Amino acid sequence: MTTITCVEDFKTLYRRRVPRMFYDYAESGSYTESTFRLNEQALQDLRIRQRVGVDISRIDTATTLAGEPASLPIAFAPVGMLGIQHAAGEICVARAAERCGVPFTLSTMSICSLEQVAQETRKPFWFQLYMVKDRGFVRDLIQRAKAARCSALVITMDLSMLGQRHKDVKNGLSIRPGLRHLLNIASKPRWAAQMARTPYKTFGNVVGHAKGVEDLNSLLTWAAEMVDPSLTWQDIEWVRNEWGGKIILKGIMDSEDARIAANMGIETLVVSNHGGRQLDGAGSTIEWLPRIAEATDGRVELLMDSGIRSGMDIFRARAQGASGVMLGRAMVYALGAMGEPGIDRLVEILTKELTTTMGLAGVTRDADITRSTLATGAPSPELPHLRVAN
C-alpha cells in the first residue's frame, strides 16, 4: 500500500507490520466488546447539516486545549507500550505532535521515560498518571513530571479494576514472547529489525524507579499488585496538592462524577470509557458527552476520546460539546504503520477532513461548531446574508 488517504488505510498497514499480540492489544475491547464497537457506531449515527451560500474561502481549525494553543482540536491520548508498537514510539509521536502543533500525552506505562521524551522535545507535553497503591512511587512520578517540564497532569480515573480483554488472554500477551509469538514476530521482519536496533526496550517510567522493580520479570508482578481499588476523590485532592499545576481528569462517564470534579475546581475533564477496554456495556462517549456538558454548564472544559477515526468525528464531538478530542487507536494505527512520518500524515489527513467538513457545513471557525451544526441539534438562526428583504 503506497497511498494512505484515511485512518482505515493506516489500520490495514498496521495489521500487516506489527506482531499479532500487539495489534490485538490495541484493537480490542473488554468482554463482548459491545462498548468498543458502540463508540464508533454512535459517532456515525450523528448527521451533520450541510449548508451552502457561505464564504468558506478561509477556514480556521485553530483552538486551545487545556489552555494551550492547538492547530486543530486534537491531542494525542496516553497509550501504554507505544514503544512496542514502533521503536521509540513515544518519542516519535511527541516529536510529530510538536511539529504539528498539538498536545501529546505520555503514559505512565510508556517504554520511553519522561526524561527521554523531554530530552528529545522542546515543547512541554502532558503526563498521564496511574494512581497505584505505592503513593511514594506516585509522588516520585509527579516530581519527575515537574522536572521534565510537563504542562499538565492527566489522571486516569477508570482503572481501579481491570476489565478483561479476551484476545490478550488467548494470545498470552506478554513482554516476554513465547515460541508462538516468536514465530509470528519472524513474519514481521521490519518490526523485528526496529526493535533489535532501538535502545528503548523497557518501561522507562517504572523499571529502576518503583520499589522492587529492577527488570521486566519483576515489573509483571508489580503491575498486577499495584492496581488500586481504593481510589477516591480524596486521592485526587492529594495529587493536586503534590502537583500544584494543571490537572485533567480522564475517564468521566457520568454527569454526577463530572459535577463532583467541577465542584472540586478541576478545569478539564476527558469523557472517556477507555476505548471500551474497561466497563463493557457502558454507553458510548458521544452519547454521554452532551449530558455531561449540560450537567457542568460550562464550568469545565470537556475533551472526549474513544471511537474518533476521522475529521468528521472530530466535528461531531465538537458539535456535541467537546473542546477537542484525544486520539488513541488512530495514533497507534499511524505509528505502527509508518512510524513518525505516519503521525505527520495522520494529522495532515485529519486536518483536511475537518476543514472539508467545516466548509461543507457552512462553518469557518472552530468556535462556530455547535449543536446546531448537527441534524439532531437545535435549528441555527437564519444566516444574515441569506435573509430575503420584504
How do residues 330-384 score in pLDDT, each as one tens digit?
A: 999 999 999 999 999 999 999 999 999 999 999 999 999 999 999 975 444 444 4
Instruction: Report in angstroms the alpha-carbon separations of 273 from 19, 110, 295.
Output: 26, 20, 18
Q: What is the CATH number of domain 7-362?
A: 3.20.20.70
- Residue 243: in which H helix or E strand, if any? helix 233-243
- Give yes or no for a contact between 50 and 373, defined as CB atoms under 8 angstroms apart: no
Domain ranges of the chain: 7-362
pLDDT tens digit sequence for 280-328: 999 999 999 999 999 999 999 999 999 999 999 999 999 999 999 999 9
> Please, is 211 exposed, middle or buried when counting C-beta atoms within 10 Å of its C-beta (0-12, 13-18, 19+)?
exposed
Catalytic residue among 86, 181, 274, 385: 274
Question: How many other C-beta atoms can be found within 10 angstroms of the C-beta atom of residue 162?
Answer: 13
- 274 is a catalytic site residue: yes
Q: Chain-wide mean pLDDT for the chain?
A: 91
pTM of the model: 0.92
**The residue type at 58:** R
Separation of alpha carbons 41 and 309, rounded Å: 11
C-alpha cell of 269?
475533564
